[in-house]
Amino acid sequence: MRPEVFKMVDRVVAIDSTNKTIHCQGMVPQESSIFDGHFPGYPIMPGVLLIEAMAQTTGWLILARNRFEKMPFLATVKEAKLRTFVLPGQNLDLYSEILHEGSGFVVAKTHTTLEGKPICSAELTFRVLSWPEGRMKATVLKVAEHVQFPVADYVDA
C-alpha cells in the first residue's frame, strides 16, 4: 500500500468476473506520513482509507466486468462498519462481490479481513462512465500490471 498516493491494493489474488467476485491484498506500510497525525504515538490506519481500499478492490472487479472500457467512480458508501484497529505492517485481505449492475451503476458488498477475522465492511455504489481523459486508462492499465491483475484476460487487443 501507498496510502499517501491512494494506492491501496498491492495484489489481485483472485478474480472471477463471471461470478462477480474478487480477492485482493494490501499491506499497511510500517512507515507513512498518514500516521504522523493518526495518531502520534499510536499509529492506526484511518477508517476512510480502509473504505478506499475496499472501493479500489471493487473498482478492479468493475474494470474487469467492463473489459477496461469504462471507469468506476465511487458514488455511495452505505452501512460501513469498522470493527477494530488496523496497525502498520498488517496484511489485509480485501473481498468484493457485485450485487447489482444496471443503468450505469454497480452495487457491491465488500469486506476486509485480517488473519481471517473481520475488520470492516460496507455496501458501495459506483457510477460507471466512459474514461474522462485518454491518459487515465493507460495509467490504470500500468497500475493493473503492477498489482498482478490478469490484464490479458480482460482487455481486448
| Residues identified as active-site | 38
Which helix (H) or strand (E) segment holds residue 130: the answer is: strand 117-130
Tell me how far apart the alpha carbons of residues 144 and 146 are, in angstroms, rounded to a whole number.
5
Q: 3-state DSSP helix/strand/coil percent for the chain, to nearest 5? A: 25, 40, 30
Tell me how far apart the alpha carbons of residues 109 and 115 are, in angstroms, rounded to a whole number.
20
Tell me how far apart the alpha carbons of residues 114 and 92 are, in angstroms, rounded to a whole number.
5
* CA-atom Rg of the chain in angstroms: 15
Which helix (H) or strand (E) segment holds residue 81: the answer is: strand 70-82
Cell of 17: 468476473
Tell me how far apart the alpha carbons of residues 1 and 79 are, in angstroms, rounded to a whole number.
24
